[in-house]
Structure 1
Amino acid sequence: MDGAEELLGDCPVDRPLLSIAIPTFRRPEFLLEAVVSALGQKFDYPFEVIVVDNDPASNGHRLLLDAVPNLLSAPFRYLRNRRNIGEFPNFNRCVEEARGEWVTILHDDDLLHPSWAREMFAVLGTRPSIDGLICDRANLDQRATPVGEGRLKSIARRAVRFLRFGFGQTRRIDARKLFWECPGNTVGFVCRKRDLQAVGGFRADEHPSADHFFYLRFGKRFRLLQFKKTLVSIRIADNSLLAPETHFALARRNHEIRSACIAAGVPRWWARLLPLLTARQVVAMSGFYRVPVTPAQVGRMLGIRVVRDRPLLLWTLRALCRGF
């Protein structure tokens, strides 16, 4: 029998405004922290936290019961799939099982800051035309030797932030912005459940960039904005380092996404920038995750043209194209 069984339920909230949905698979120590961060939201409206475990043999709910006092009286549900359905199909199951009008996906190793829900809905309350809202995020680098940020990188980061938001608090995310950069995975993103389902949810055949493809589909149909505040933490741990094969897959998918952005109305001449963009992505990602993959290797593997990484030239072109 397919589907999911509810191991912990009887949520006291019948019709929550918000569902914080956590797909999980064999990361109990991280899941505990994610659940605590979700339940700890300082929010004035009813919400629920729902976990959908993709391991049919898991007893993760018992570990949570032991570790979280009063879990049974919290707005919390725990479901377990009867079979492993895959990462992104489990995202969709989380959405199907959510009872809230609005829904967000929280990865089981990431964290919501206590004020995330309150501040996001404060923006949504003043801007009723917004259909989806993404917040900014911080890296929680818990590796044995985390990547530091020197003075030049810090200055560059602040400059990019100003180019993105100026003196405002939000910016529109559309195909032109997504051509240059995805605003990140879906942690911290919130939208109406019906709208997420209307664009087809998350697609397994778009792995490992299903979130980037999702934003492109959502932004075509609905009004998608990013909020300036940093309200979530993305965990970087030793066990999350990417394999070279994943870098090749990411490069291929991002090439496909940028081509799709051009088809969605981005200036066609921007296609000439794809070799520079691919080179920058490969160098930045391989440096951050310490995986020895070069632009030349990616070009040969994927059969695409990749040039030498020239970050200053690309940064200048991006600024001129208002790609921030």
Structure 2
Amino acid sequence: MLSNNTDCSLTEVKKSSNAIDPLPPDVDRPMWSVMIPIYNRTIYLEQAIASVIEQMREYAAERIQIELIDNCSTNPEIEFLIQRLAKQHRISVYRQPQTVSMVENLNTCIRRAHGHLIHILHDDDIVLPGFYQSLEAAFTQEPSIGAAYCRHGHIDENNRQQNYLSSLERSTSGIIPNFLKRIAVYSLVDPPAMVVKRSVYEHLGGFRPELYGACDHEMWRRIAAHYPIWFEPQVLACFRVHSRSQTSAFVRTGKNIVNMRQSIETTRSYLPKSTAERIAKRAMEECALYALRNAFRVLSRGDITATKAQIREALKCSYSLKVIVALFLVPFLAVASSLKRYLERNRE
């Protein structure tokens, strides 16, 4: 049951710049639209595309749309690369007339998608064999779902697996019960793991421009407030963590936490009034703890600017006992981590 607050927010979405119009009835509709937003970066693009193409070889051409959405790149290497990739594979290219915000480029991906299912794959992430087959099966088996995602891991610049796996929401494939209560508190889904029906974006709108670095977190929460979400426990996608990412730039300024805090405030309107305050408070505490984990990580690398930014924004989220204890542990853990790496290097 939607709250009055949620109904109002949907009305606002319909009038806003992130509204997604339905496609004309005479448009040919493939099953899949794999949309890849790009801007200037070439280093990982071929790998991202290859991870899609390898799985799509058995699909008839009319069942898939693969399109690069270039945000008016200024890097001359991009043009040569995408022309070669377009000829080599059955993919199309759309170039923005001028550079727009990252969020507007994501919404362009949605608007240009013709498929019933939309997968937005950032140019530095990859999907693993079985991703499209498994998630398409989810929508076939349970037509009521609005989105589906898989368990996923992190990789670094050199494709090495990092010590991270997303949480195991259930041991078998299926709908996650009471998912909104969990995702309203925790950031559970990285973008390459998520597939959304186009009709859901048409109903709820696209990504919110004002949330920028946390626009995906808010989008998944918005969907969870209105539709069942399916979980696939196989690890079928990888999110890349590297210094060239937009996320890394946000960490240095603290903007990642600013956006996450804004996302939590926005999510209040999707929650039942009786629990909204309690859930938002837990979410703010978790956001602060996440910021302090970032602070530990960047301090162990010697990045004082990023450390200060993450601590500053953490304390704007919460002053809970957990947060204060974690704050005092940051320098000790960072020193221990640096010492461990020093000893490992000298042992070699």
Do they fold alike, i.e. is TM over 0.5? yes
Residue 210 of structure 1 is matched in structure 2 by 215
Matched, 1:41 2:55: yes
Matched, 1:20 2:29: no
Label 1:56 to 1:236 Cα distance change in 2 as closer, same or farther (>3 A).
closer
TM-fit CA distance, 1:123: 2.1
8 Å CA contact 1:133–1:189 kept in 2: the answer is yes
TM-fit CA distance, 1:200: 1.2
Residue 199 of structure 1 is matched in structure 2 by 204
Residue 82 of structure 2 is matched in structure 1 by 64
TM-fit CA distance, 1:86: 0.7
- Over aligned residue pairs, what C-alpha RMSD do you find? 3.2
Task: Spell out the pairing of 1:231-270 with structure 2 (5 A cutoff).
Answer: 231-240=236-245, 241=248, 242-257=251-266, 259-260=268-269, 262-263=271-272, 266=275, 268-270=277-279
SS in 2 for 1:227: strand
Label 1:215 to 1:266 Cα distance change in 2 as closer, same or farther (>3 A).
farther
Q: 2:31 corresponds to which letter in structure 1?
A: L
Q: 2:242 corresponds to which letter in structure 1?
A: A
Partners of 1:210 and 1:257 lie apart in 2 by: 11
Q: 2:30 corresponds to which letter in structure 1?
A: P
8 Å CA contact 1:44–1:118 kept in 2: the answer is no
Label 1:56 to 1:127 Cα distance change in 2 as closer, same or farther (>3 A).
same
Residue of 72, 76, 87 corresponding to 2:102: 87
Residue 69 of structure 2 is matched in structure 1 by 52
Label 1:165 to 1:97 Cα distance change in 2 as closer, same or farther (>3 A).
same
SS in 2 for 1:28: coil
TM-fit CA distance, 1:283: 2.0
Residue 186 of structure 2 is matched in structure 1 by 181
Task: Spell out the pairing of 1:220-239 with structure 2 (5 A cutoff).
Answer: 220-239=225-244
TM-fit CA distance, 1:14: 5.5
Structure 2 unmatched runs, 5+: 1-26, 300-305, 327-348
Counting helix residues as a fraction of each chain, which structure ranks higher?
Answer: 2
Structure 1 unmatched runs, 5+: 1-12, 312-324
8 Å CA contact 1:275–1:307 kept in 2: the answer is no
Q: Which moved more, 1:243-252 or 1:259-268?
A: 259-268
SS in 2 for 1:183: coil
Matched, 1:29 2:47: no
TM-fit CA distance, 1:87: 0.4
Label 1:303 to 1:142 Cα distance change in 2 as closer, same or farther (>3 A).
closer
TM-score (norm 2): 0.70
Label 1:275 to 1:233 Cα distance change in 2 as closer, same or farther (>3 A).
closer
Residue 108 of structure 1 is matched in structure 2 by 123
SS in 1 for 2:192: coil
SS in 2 for 1:226: strand
TM-fit CA distance, 1:247: 4.1
Residue 130 of structure 1 is matched in structure 2 by 145
8 Å CA contact 2:144–2:227 kept in 1: the answer is no
Q: Tell me the percent identity.
A: 17
SS in 2 for 1:48: strand
Label 1:247 to 1:99 Cα distance change in 2 as closer, same or farther (>3 A).
closer
8 Å CA contact 1:104–1:191 kept in 2: the answer is yes
8 Å CA contact 1:170–1:226 kept in 2: the answer is yes
Label 1:57 to 1:275 Cα distance change in 2 as closer, same or farther (>3 A).
closer
Q: Which moved more, 1:177-186 or 1:275-284?
A: 275-284
Partners of 2:321 and 2:139 lie apart in 1 by: 42
Label 1:168 to 1:106 Cα distance change in 2 as closer, same or farther (>3 A).
closer
Partners of 2:214 and 2:262 lie apart in 1 by: 6
Label 1:105 to 1:44 Cα distance change in 2 as closer, same or farther (>3 A).
same
8 Å CA contact 2:118–2:197 kept in 1: the answer is yes
SS in 2 for 1:40: helix
Partners of 1:123 and 1:187 lie apart in 2 by: 17
Matched, 1:284 2:302: no
Q: Which moved more, 1:118-127 or 1:168-177?
A: 168-177
Partners of 1:173 and 1:52 lie apart in 2 by: 35
8 Å CA contact 2:225–2:270 kept in 1: the answer is no
